[in-house]
Structure 1
Amino acid sequence: MTRTTTLWSLLLLSAALALGSCTKDATEQATGPEPEAKAASKLVFSSENAVRGELLVCFGEEAVAGIESSVMQVTRSGGVATRSGIADFDAVLGSIGVKALQRLFPVDERNEERTRAAGLHRWYVVEFDAAADLDKAALDMARIAEVSKVEFNQQLMHVHEGRVIPLAETGAAPQTRAAVGFNDPHLGKQWHYINTGDKSIYSKIKAGADVNCDEAWKLCTGDPRVIVAVVDNCVQWDHPDLAANMWTNTAELNGSEGRDDDSNGYADDIHGFNFVDNTTLTISTKGDAPDHGTHVAGTVAAVNNNGTGVAGIAGGSGKNDGVKIMSCQIFHDKDGGDVAMAAKAIKYAADNGAAIIQCSYGYPAGSVTSDAAYSSGASAEKQAIDYFIAKQNCAAVSGGLAIFAAGNDMTGMSSYPGAYRDYISVTAMSCDYTPAYYTNYGPGCNIAAPGGDAYQSYLENINTGASEVLSTVNGGKYGYMQGTSMACPHVSGVAALGLSYALQLGKTFTQNEFTTLLLTSVNDINQYCTGTKQYFTDKGSLATLDLSQYKKGMGTGYIDAYQVLMNVRGITCIPIPVGSQYTLNLQPYLGGGNLDLKITEISISAEDMNRLGISANPTIFANQIILKCTKPGSAVVRIKLLAGNGNNSGMNGMPITKEFAFIAREVHSQNGGWL
């Protein structure tokens, strides 16, 4: 007898005992329909943009035992359940041409107790004739007393903009090689990691408009104990620049084909699972974005320093030390992308070790417009994300991180689910710091990252895609894409890098602490939300965008990987403006700001001075530091201070040394990056 059979037997026995305590079998009772108003209050979302012929039903706890008994009696012998055992509910099923009734979240023996404690075992999927009236079917189900909620299965959308532009071996000249010394041949074209201001990409490009990987990679490049679940199209698991960093389920890899070897509810899930077709991962070849998942995955963790292709933010150093990518496929060709698939994928990620879910998808614009509307129904997806956030799968952080794209609708709010207050929503910026023309902004948006802007290159007749984001694509190839979909994995990758560094240092954070650290490790973008930029409308006409509308709407600022690592390490980051002499008062960065500390010496290496473009040694005057940085860059400086006063008889304060990270950027955040 397999472990799965044993568990189902125990569940069946439990259900039988529960039913036996009743004077009459609860599943044979017809309680009568509830009033329409009460039934309507049980509905989650609306039929607009919903999958036809399918509804998600959450039953009351007291009814579940009977349903499990009824369903298991059929499925144990390999049949498909079409009845719940609740007479009134089954009458509705009969009227709509029911095809199947099954639990939304399959049994994972290792996590079933936790699943039931979270109430996820109460969710079922009802499949029926697509020609049936969806609204009537939902309301009829909701009128049954044993039903707690009926959810319309909302369709989801990718949040990319445009198609892949294949990487040509010729095109934009590569930028200066990264100081870290990686040998990935196309790293120089990934301005979004290390932007040196290469004007062959775009004439108005700004050095430093990137996620600042160069200095971060000197400290950490990743850790295989950190798993990032890419909830998207299938990731090409054997891509030469991804294969070494793919998460692998060794029980399934070494097990029998067609068998659930690790009893997690899924068979042959070697590198993840296809939740569209309920089968093994399947490479997409059709639709408008078949490469989407592979492109996103490459930004997070393409293998670094392997002499191949591109780099990934947390892709390691070429020594099998990158973070791992788990592929949770919810889109396939022109199919898929709905709430049920996403909910199952996210729970799967939680149950199989992921610390971050990378979600470059969202609901159609305007379908959900407030946290109250999203949370009041407690949808299956929200409950799955809550389940994920509550699960500790990385020793460095107490729970999971849910990171979403803000959307590409050019609207003044983030799309959901990303807009919800417990999740991170990522907006997109261009290679000159300006908001990307397509990005959503405003309420619900939390942080910005490079997403690319095709028209910056296109309007200058540079048709290589150089101003977009370069990453891996299907077929073992590389290409450019743009969108908040591309910005989102920059934040996921930086978060994974931060967790990797925390593991390296033995640091631990609560989920809230690490989220706060991530959202405050930023540079200011608001100074660039002025003036105008051009783009093409959907109808192909040239239009002008007023950038002032984005001010204070892009999130806390744009993500900085080096600052994340410094904050993990516990070193205060200080922004320094580029191009002018600057007088730095350290007091705001020291304790309460009024400490009796005297600066006696500042130590910065010649290499770091060159990196920041400092030609003359910083000087100390009136207990302040005077310096001039002429290049964007980052460096750790050591400052010696005297704590306490001295006197003329030889008594002095105690000498102490404190490290600070100077972040030189053209944009100077007046509040030290804590926006």
Structure 2
Amino acid sequence: MRRRGELSLGTVPGGFRMRATMKRLMIVTLSCGMLLGCQGDPNPNLDPSAQAFPALNGASGLRRAQLLHYLREANETLDSKTSSEMSDHFSYRDAKGNRIRYGEAPATSEVWALSDLELDKIPGTSTERAFREFPMRTPEKPIIVAVIDGGVDIHHEDLAGVIWTNEAEERGTPGRDNDGNGYVGDVHGWNFLGAADGRNLEANSLEVTREVARMRRLAESRELSESERAYLEKLEASFEAQSGMARRTLDKLRVQLKELDSALVVLRQAGLGSESIPALDAIPAGDELLEQARALARRYLERGVTTAVLNQKISWLQKEVEPHFDLNFNASDLIGDDPARMDDIGYGNSNVHVDADHGTHVAGIIAAIRENGIGINGQSAFVRIMPLRVVPNGDERDKDVGNAIRYAVDNGARVVNMSFGKSYSPNREYVYDAIRYARQKGVLLVHAAGNSGVDIDLEDSFPRRPEGEPVDNWIEVAASTKYFDASLVASFSNYGQKSVDLFAPGMGILSSTPGNAYQSYDGTSMASPEVAGVAALLLSQYPRLTPRQVRAILMRTVRGNVPELVEAPGTGILTDFAKLSVSGGIVNAYEALKTAALLFSSK
């Protein structure tokens, strides 16, 4: 699901080893302050290695010995890590604790999600097999799939031909609400995070931050009840944990930058021309100091981690994460909506291209143009993507989620994909009302289960279907991998025998990203659109199906002959796969279409 920072290869939970990190942070501090004479902030105009080690040229034997000791320590620390710890070392955390790997390029072997277990020996969705073996009919009308997410690159080469167009607005008078739906100029969807003057909200606070601020204000105005005090204590603890994680992540990245810099300054003295493996290998063998530097730099460069990458991540975290924990931040100050009114119609603007990495990736999974000789194949060939921007860098507002669902329903969507989530939802009833509205109008909602590796039967995760109600237009999706063994379930995926309906491919998923690019992401954010796309394909061939019927078919036709025991997310303990979801299986387009064909042929 959407956890901001899913930049190159996605999200996996787990913590880095703070004891070792803080030890190395102390070493770097000592190295800079005592060994190298650094003072104050680094000069942005200097090479980073020159900032860290300005006195290496002509350095005394003592200084060289201390630098050699530092490089040895760094290499020995990395040598002591398990493969899992090493993977975690070369990652960073977003504000919600999701682990993001950086610097790795997607491989063509990662185009696996639409594969078939019997034919390809890969547990994908069997969509390519379905297209080969079933005669696909072009429906009278394409199936509109709303993507409630960040923005979408509507001009992407693999998506431009499948973007929904509001013809009344396209043909109408600019600056007017030509179709009378309350949204001016919504030609290709709507941006609920925009201002009327064209500005756009990119970063927002987390819901826990907003709730801490609200409850503190309430405590100042009156005495809290016992339950309110308990809630505020829970909020405060969560707020401190998450803000502390952000600070530790920045510390970790700064340690890594200093560590890589320390190796590069030695290597540049030996003739290193660029931060690359070929340049590293071109340096002749040298003394232990040089070889320790070479070994340390190789660990980074082999993973695509350069000083530029690390500086970029540090800059991003400093700029983008700060609003997450700003207790005074109010998104409505920019957007211009009335924060006290949930059903506030018409706020926002028509720019759906803002902050479009995640949403473009999701849209491509569903609808990338098939067999056009470029990019990837989407799950369905007969859809239109309706972009609805609701998710900022931070937490989405309940108000925007509810209004986006209603917009999708009122403007013709048959399926809605929602790859986002959070742990607190103070206005959840407004979202529940929108879910009920979608059910009444015959619209299917598909939602990502989340990336925290927890049982959401026991942990709060929002949005979710209203409890105790027959909500048969909702599908909750967890993430699977391409490995047909005990590691079938993605280690980061949430699960739940009552709350999660089924699994779908969600690890190493190649799809479209802005600027006619393609990248591989991990996350239940990727699994959810796999299911939304299969649902849209099913509806394109059998448009009379109701959401209840689509859900029932997808649930009954999951691939069930999977390894009986799999590693449970979060713990790695071998667990019965059937106990991790309601259906106990992985979505299967081929079997779903076969079942639907039998159903309609019998009538």
TM-score, length of structure 1 as denominator length: 0.47
Structure with greater helix percent: 2
CA deviations on 1:280-320 (whole Å, 9 max, x unpaired) are 124334xxxx5111111101110111111111000x2xxxx
After TM superposition, give the deviation of residue 362 of structure 1 in Å.
Answer: 1.7
- Secondary structure of 2:386's counterpart equals strand
Matched, 1:554 2:581: yes
Map 1:566-645 onto structure 2 (within 5 A): 566-570=594-598
Relative contact order, CA 8 A, sep 6+: which one is greater? 2
In structure 1, the gaps of 5 or more residues are 1-156, 175-188, 199-205, 317-321, 369-373, 392-398, 453-467, 538-543, 573-657, 660-675
Matched, 1:209 2:123: yes
1:517 to 553, 556, 567: 553
Distance 1:571 1:300, change over 3 A: same
Q: Which residue of 1 aligns with 2:563?
A: 527
- Secondary structure of 1:472's counterpart equals strand
Q: Which residue of 1 aligns with 2:147?
A: 230
Distance 1:473 1:305, change over 3 A: same
- Secondary structure of 1:565's counterpart equals helix
Which AA in structure 1 matches 2:534?
Answer: V
After TM superposition, give the deviation of residue 493 of structure 1 in Å.
Answer: 0.4
Q: Residues of 1 paired with 2:534 and 2:168: CA distance?
A: 30
Q: Which residue of 2 aligns with 1:338?
A: 397
Map 1:1-150 onto structure 2 (within 5 A): none
Matched, 1:417 2:463: yes
After TM superposition, give the deviation of residue 501 of structure 1 in Å.
Answer: 1.1
- Secondary structure of 2:156's counterpart equals coil
Q: Which residue of 2 aligns with 1:403?
A: 446
Q: Residues of 2 paired with 1:221 and 1:521: CA distance?
A: 21
Which AA in structure 2 matches 1:519?
Answer: M
Q: Residues of 2 paired with 1:470 and 1:165: CA distance?
A: 15
Q: Which residue of 2 aligns with 1:190?
A: 111
Which AA in structure 1 matches 2:437?
Answer: Y
* Structure with the greater alpha carbon radius of gyration: 1
After TM superposition, give the deviation of residue 509 of structure 1 in Å.
Answer: 3.1
8 Å CA contact 1:194, 1:208 repeated in 2: yes
- Secondary structure of 2:476's counterpart equals strand
Q: Residues of 2 paired with 1:501 and 1:311: CA distance?
A: 18
Matched, 1:565 2:596: no
8 Å CA contact 2:510, 2:520 repeated in 1: yes
Distance 1:311 1:495, change over 3 A: same
2:493 to 439, 464, 476: 439
Which AA in structure 2 matches 1:304?
Answer: R
Matched, 1:495 2:554: no
In structure 2, the gaps of 5 or more residues are 1-94, 195-347
Q: Which residue of 2 aligns with 1:629?
A: none
- Secondary structure of 2:376's counterpart equals coil
Q: Residues of 2 paired with 1:329 and 1:280: CA distance?
A: 9
8 Å CA contact 1:160, 1:482 repeated in 2: no
Matched, 1:323 2:395: no
CA deviations on 1:481-522 (whole Å, 9 max, x unpaired) are 01111000011000000001114xxxx334322221121111
- Secondary structure of 1:487's counterpart equals helix
After TM superposition, give the deviation of residue 276 of structure 1 in Å.
Answer: 1.0
Distance 1:359 1:225, change over 3 A: same
After TM superposition, give the deviation of residue 225 of structure 1 in Å.
Answer: 2.4
Distance 1:194 1:264, change over 3 A: same
1:253 to 137, 158, 170: 170
Q: How many residues align?
A: 339
Q: Residues of 1 paired with 2:510 and 2:517: CA distance?
A: 11
After TM superposition, give the deviation of residue 258 of structure 1 in Å.
Answer: 2.0
Q: Which residue of 1 aligns with 2:510?
A: 470
Which AA in structure 1 matches 2:175?
Answer: G
After TM superposition, give the deviation of residue 383 of structure 1 in Å.
Answer: 0.8
Q: Residues of 2 paired with 1:308 and 1:164: CA distance?
A: 25
2:354 to 281, 284, 290: 284
After TM superposition, give the deviation of residue 221 of structure 1 in Å.
Answer: 7.7
8 Å CA contact 1:291, 1:474 repeated in 2: yes
CA deviations on 1:626-662 (whole Å, 9 max, x unpaired) are xxxxxxxxxxxxxxxxxxxxxxxxxxxxxxxx99xxx
8 Å CA contact 1:213, 1:561 repeated in 2: yes
Matched, 1:382 2:432: yes
8 Å CA contact 2:449, 2:493 repeated in 1: yes
- Secondary structure of 1:363's counterpart equals coil
Q: Residues of 1 paired with 2:475 and 2:579: CA distance?
A: 16
Q: Which residue of 2 aligns with 1:591?
A: none
Q: Residues of 2 paired with 1:445 and 1:292: CA distance?
A: 22
8 Å CA contact 1:258, 1:267 repeated in 2: yes
8 Å CA contact 2:554, 2:592 repeated in 1: yes
Which AA in structure 1 matches 2:499?
Answer: G
Q: Residues of 1 paired with 2:163 and 2:137: CA distance?
A: 16
8 Å CA contact 1:405, 1:418 repeated in 2: no
Distance 1:167 1:237, change over 3 A: farther
Q: Residues of 2 paired with 1:239 and 1:476: CA distance?
A: 5
Matched, 1:162 2:100: yes
Q: Residues of 1 paired with 2:449 and 2:476: CA distance?
A: 5
After TM superposition, give the deviation of residue 549 of structure 1 in Å.
Answer: 6.3
Q: Residues of 1 paired with 2:146 and 2:434: CA distance?
A: 14
8 Å CA contact 1:276, 1:336 repeated in 2: no
Q: Which residue of 1 aligns with 2:206?
A: none
Distance 1:328 1:222, change over 3 A: farther
8 Å CA contact 2:446, 2:475 repeated in 1: yes
Q: Residues of 1 paired with 2:416 and 2:395: CA distance?
A: 18
8 Å CA contact 1:164, 1:480 repeated in 2: no
After TM superposition, give the deviation of residue 404 of structure 1 in Å.
Answer: 0.5
Distance 1:473 1:161, change over 3 A: farther
Q: Which runs of 4 or more aligned residues in structure 1 lie more than 4 Å from their structure 2 counterparts after TM superposition?
A: 157-161, 163-168, 195-198, 221-224
8 Å CA contact 2:564, 2:576 repeated in 1: no
Tell me the C-alpha RMSD between the 2 structures: 3.1
8 Å CA contact 1:158, 1:362 repeated in 2: no
CA deviations on 1:2-28 (whole Å, 9 max, x unpaired) are xxxxxxxxxxxxxxxxxxxxxxxxxxx
Matched, 1:243 2:164: no
CA deviations on 1:196-254 (whole Å, 9 max, x unpaired) are 799xxxxxxx8130000122113238745211000001111111100101110112122
- Secondary structure of 2:464's counterpart equals coil
TM-score, length of structure 2 as denominator length: 0.52
Distance 1:163 1:486, change over 3 A: farther
2:421 to 362, 370, 375: 362
